[in-house]
Structure formats: C-alpha cells, structure tokens
Structure 1
Amino acid sequence: MDISTTYMGLALESPVIVGSSGLTNAVHKLKEIQDAGAGAVVLKSIFEEEIAYEYNDLIKETYQKTGYNLEQFDYLDFELKGKKLHAYLELINQAKAGVRMPVIASVNCVYSHEWVSFASQIAKSGADALELNMFFAPTDLEQESNDLEKVYFQIVEKLLETITIPVSLKISYYFSNLGRMIQQLSETGVSGLVLFNRFFSPDIDTDKFEVKPSFVFSSPSDIAISLRWMAIMSQRVNCDLAASTGVHDAQGVIKHILAGAQAVQMVSTLYKNKIPYLKTVNRDIQNWMEIHGFNTLADFRGKLSQSKADNPAIYDRLQFMKYYS
C-alpha cells in the first residue's frame, strides 16, 4: 500500500510529520526519525522570547558595569540575534546534509515586526519550507478582534514578498469566525495551514500557592477539535491542510485523512512510545488500507469531509442532543 503524499509541494514518503519539539533539535535525532519512517520533520522552533530575554540580561549586565545610556545598545540587539540565529541556521544546514526527508524550519514569535527578519535568513539557509507558529494572545482588552486579526495578514504579506520557499501557518482555533479566518488565510498565497497550535496551559498548586504547568502532552481525545475543522474546511481552502494535536496512532492519522488532511503532525505519542513507534504507525495505516481496499491515500482522502458526508450538519452541531425513542 502506497502511503506517500505531498504537502506544500514537497514529496513525503509518509503522511506523518514529526512536529517541532525537543525531538527535532539535533541531527542524530533527525536521522532516527527518518529511519523510523517519518515523511518530514519540523525543526525545533526558534523562539523570539529566548532572544529577548538574552538581550535584556546582557543589557542589564553591561549597563551596571558601564553606566551607559540604554539607547546606545541597539547594536547589541543585532549581535545577539545574529548569534542565536546563526546556531539555528547551522542546525538547518546540518539537517539538510544529514537527512533526505524534507526539513521544515519553524519560527515562533510574539512580536510581529520580527517575523520577516528571522524568516528571510532561514529561507536562505536551505530549509525546504518554513512553518510559522502564529498566535497573538487576545489579552489586550483595549484591542478589537479585527485589529488583532489584521496582524496575521500583515505578517504573511510581508513574508511572502521576501521569501520564495513554501510557507505554512500553524494557527489556533481562537478566532471569532474561525472558518472564515482559515479560508482567508489560505487565500494569501501560503502553501499550508496546520490545525492547530498546542499551548502552554497553566495550573495552580493549592499547597505551594504557585502557578505550574498542567498537561504537557496531548491526549488522544484532543483530536476532536482539529478533526472537526479539518472536515469542515477540506475542499474549501486554497492550500494544503495538516493536522496537529491529539494524533497518537494510525487511527488518528487515518481519521484526519478521511476528513481531508494532506499530512499530520505527531509529537506527544513519540515522547511516550519513542521514535521507532513511527514504524508501527505506518504499518498500521498500510494494513488498514489493505483491509478496506485502498491503494493510495488519495483513494480515501476527504471521503468523510463535510462536503462529502451523508450528514454534513453533524459537523456544525455543537450542543449535546438527547434522543428519545
């Protein structure tokens, strides 16, 4: 059974992409991922916060030693970004030299003016594509939702004017009109959309009176949100769709392809079951295809999307309904 696919114009031997994580931050790990059968890999993201914190720490240290005016330290910002970015570019170069599967770089930023400056250099480093992990927290109570959403389009417009490699956007489901937002983003010229980001979730320790992380890994039940929206948006966008969060086994992959996905991303299950588990996932997909008489992924992709479902309204209904005989 042929489980190859394409995503953002890239040829993948498997629909399973290993998402950005600590599993993808070194070349020896990437080789193991490739040997296990992944279709592609998203490198560990470069976070703008890391650079900002490093920058602020150096500013404070230098200021305390010299007493200079902080306005004189703009050049340090450039130097620090150069050092941080250089290390990331080296990872891309080593990855491209070490593996044959597509290598997708990843940028995770929180300030809109930094996206293009990071992305333009990453594109020149040889990455096959770039995934932008895009989310701007709607915590500014003075800002209208429309103004916040405009930032996404401004970034994409600037980025696509600057680089030519395929670009995907990893977005959240926190939009006032999610379906229309997904559709509009797909019309900007991006090559792919990843549904959806997974966020840090805080919890509270009631004994220590501290804020702590809650569930770090996803669970199989988390697949529900991406599965619903994958099915709703399939055949209604102008770019490829990939799924993320809650895909823990072959069934999760198959469900998303039935809903219309070109590819899926896995992370949490590989932490739990280790990277060689990818072989099991690929084999189980092939076994399922053989049982049901499918030779390729295209044979059943989108078969249960909303546009092709016998009961399309089931994807729209949000309330629990109780049926009486």
Structure 2
Amino acid sequence: MTRLLHNPAAAEILGLALTSPVVVGSGLLTDQERNIRRLLAAGAGAVVTKTIHPNPAPSGSERLLHLPTGMINSTTYSRRGIDQWCAMLRRFAADRLPVIASLHADSPAELAELAAAVADTGCRALELGISCMNEDGGLTDTAERVAAYTGAVRSVTTLPFSVKLAAGERVRERVDAAVAAGADAITLSDTIAGLAVDPKTGRVLLGGTFGYSGPGIKPLVLAEIYELRRSGVQVPLMGSGGVQSAPDVAEYLSVGADAVQVYTALHRNMHDSLAGIREGFDDWLRDHGGTVAALVGRSLPKGEA
C-alpha cells in the first residue's frame, strides 16, 4: 500500500487498490488463465474475466466483425464450467491478483447461487454482466430487471460488485435501481446495438444485430457519464467504450470515471496494445504533472465533481 501512495497513477475500485486505472474488460481475451496473468503482467490495474454463466449457449456461434470504427461481435458467455472457473479464481485469490469475476445467469435466483459459489473462492470483487444484448432475442433492459438481479446478488454476498449496464434509454433509472438494490459501482457501457451490411449484396453480416464496441461509442459513453455526474450520481463508475490510447483514459477520468476499462483495442496485438496504453498513460501523467485523483471529475463544473 505504501508503494501505491507514491504512485500518481494509483486508483481504487471495488475495494481493490490498483497500480493503474486501466482495467481490462470482460470478453474472449479474458477467458483463459494464461491470458489474464499476462494482461496483469503487461500493466493492467485489474482484469475482468469473461462472463461466467451456469448455462452458456453452445459453442460455434461466436463471431467477430472488425470495422474501421470498432467491432461487432456475437459473443455471449464463457463455455468453461463453473467448477473450472472456481478453481481458476482460487488460484488468482491465492496470489492476491486483482481479478474481477464477471457473472450472469438466466434468472436472479440462479445468479445469486453463482455469486455465492464464486464468493467462496476468495475472489475479491464481481461485475454483473447482466446487460449483454447478444442474448437470444436481444435485450430490453429495465430498472426493475436491474434491481432484481442486483438485489439477488446482494442478498447472498458482501463482496463488492459493479453492475455493467449499456448506455442508452433511461440509463439514470437503471443506475439508480442498481445502486438502491446494493451495487457498489457501475460499469458503463456494455456494447450497444450495431449492424453491418454488405453494400454489394445487401446481406446483413453476422446474420443480425449484435453488440457494437470501439471508438465509435466513446463520445456517447463520455456524455452519459458526464451527465450522470452532473445530475448528482456519486457511485463509483468504470468507464468503458472506445479506449485506444492514454488520452482516452484521461478523458474518461476527467468526466468522472474512477477507473477505465479497455477491451476492443486489445484484439490487435493484445499485450503490446495494453502495455502501450498503460505506459502511455503513465507518461501522460508524468508530462502533465498530475495524478489520477486530480484528474477524476475535472471536466465537471465546480461543485459537481
């Protein structure tokens, strides 16, 4: 902890003291123990696992489509079983690694059961990945749904957890519902609806509407976080969407995020890309003579930070 006190890039989220506010988000790249450990070694302040689910869909349906402004993906949840994940999480806990377990299930009761099992591993923090729009039939999220899942998890564990929500309609209502039901933090944003079309044939690529992520959504998520903070939301926030460089990290912190998730950019040169963002942000802080603590909320009008 003494080392962190003298580190200008130090941050804290979900009770984790981070050496950097740069957190690797949940996805295909965080589905293996080796990758998670290498991402931490490359400088991630923490890593969020691929979402653990008791009843994942059959394999073979996960596809990625790279676009100039990001990526559309049809992925959902990890195919690894709960027992395998729990064994992995125990090893991370034994090594005191800052790993956040992403969880979802088909009902609040099932999610509560899963959360209790994961809490028994010694895992230090959770993220509820309840807003994935790639579920069968898509997803229409409501404050009531968010409250049901959040409250179910809070009823079985004292572990700190974040609820990951998608930017969009009535986001403030969904944030308030999560906080009222016991969330310790909010992650914003999950992927949003995206569609790609072959201009020559008119064929809908990937076969439909799926989750879009990348630099194209960054201005939208920045605006959501900025307005949430301006409207008085005080809960810790992890900003997520379109981070590719050190200035992106600084922008998210400036509008009020306490930590910043990066994911899509890592699909190209995963470890080198992460190291570049992390080291670039350390250099940025040094060049500007600042700290993470001083950056957070600096874009907000005085009295609203």
Range of TM-score over shorter length: 0.7 to 0.9
Q: Counterpart of 1:245?
A: 241
State the distance in 1 between where 2:193 and 2:33 align: 26
Paired residue for 2:270, among 241, 255, 274?
A: 274
| 2:255–2:296 CA contact under 8 A, matched in 1 | yes
1:177-225 deviation digits (Å, cap 9, x = unpaired): 3224323423333111000111574545674956516887733232111
Q: Counterpart of 1:322?
A: none
Q: Counterpart of 1:212?
A: 206
Q: Counterpart of 1:155?
A: 149
State the distance in 1 between where 2:10 and 2:90 align: 25
Aligned AA for 1:194? T
Paired residue for 1:183, among 169, 176, 183?
A: 176
Task: Give the greater-gyration-radius structure (CA).
Answer: 1
Q: Counterpart of 1:35?
A: 41
Distance change (3 Å), C-alpha of 1:135 and 1:253: same
| 2:132–2:191 CA contact under 8 A, matched in 1 | no
State the distance in 2 between where 1:3 and 1:16 align: 9
- Give the deviation of 1:37 after TM superposition: 0.9
- Whether 1:93 aligns to 2:90 is yes
Q: How many residues align?
A: 273
- Whether 1:118 aligns to 2:111 is no
| 1:26–1:91 CA contact under 8 A, matched in 2 | no
Unaligned runs of 5+ in 2: 1-6, 60-79
Normalised by the length of structure 2, the TM-score is: 0.78
State the distance in 2 between where 1:262 and 1:86 align: 32
State the distance in 2 between where 1:240 and 1:274 align: 27
- Compare 229-238 and 27-36 and name the one that shifted more: 229-238
Q: Counterpart of 2:26?
A: 20
Instruction: Describe the SS at the equivalent of 1:276.
Output: helix
State the distance in 1 between where 2:302 and 2:153 align: 32
Q: Counterpart of 2:67?
A: none
Aligned AA for 2:93? K
State the distance in 2 between where 1:22 and 1:178 align: 26
Instruction: Describe the SS at the equivalent of 2:187.
Output: strand
Paired residue for 2:160, among 155, 162, 166?
A: 166
State the distance in 2 between where 1:289 and 1:161 align: 40
Percentage identity across paired residues of the two chains: 25
- Give the deviation of 1:289 after TM superposition: 2.2
Normalised by the length of structure 1, the TM-score is: 0.73
State the distance in 1 between where 2:210 and 2:242 align: 12
Q: 1:1-325 maps to which residues of 2 (within 5 A)?
A: 2-50=8-56, 84-97=81-94, 99-135=95-131, 148-175=142-169, 177-199=170-192, 201-203=194-196, 207=201, 212=206, 218-234=213-229, 236-294=232-290, 296-305=291-300
Aligned AA for 2:41? D
State the distance in 2 between where 1:19 and 1:171 align: 13
State the distance in 2 between where 1:5 and 1:246 align: 20
- Give the deviation of 1:14 after TM superposition: 0.5
| 2:128–2:161 CA contact under 8 A, matched in 1 | yes
| 1:16–1:253 CA contact under 8 A, matched in 2 | yes
1:86-143 deviation digits (Å, cap 9, x = unpaired): 122122123334x543111111334444211211111111211110012286x9xxxx
Distance change (3 Å), C-alpha of 1:209 and 1:287: closer
State the distance in 2 between where 1:202 and 1:193 align: 26
- Give the deviation of 1:19 after TM superposition: 0.9
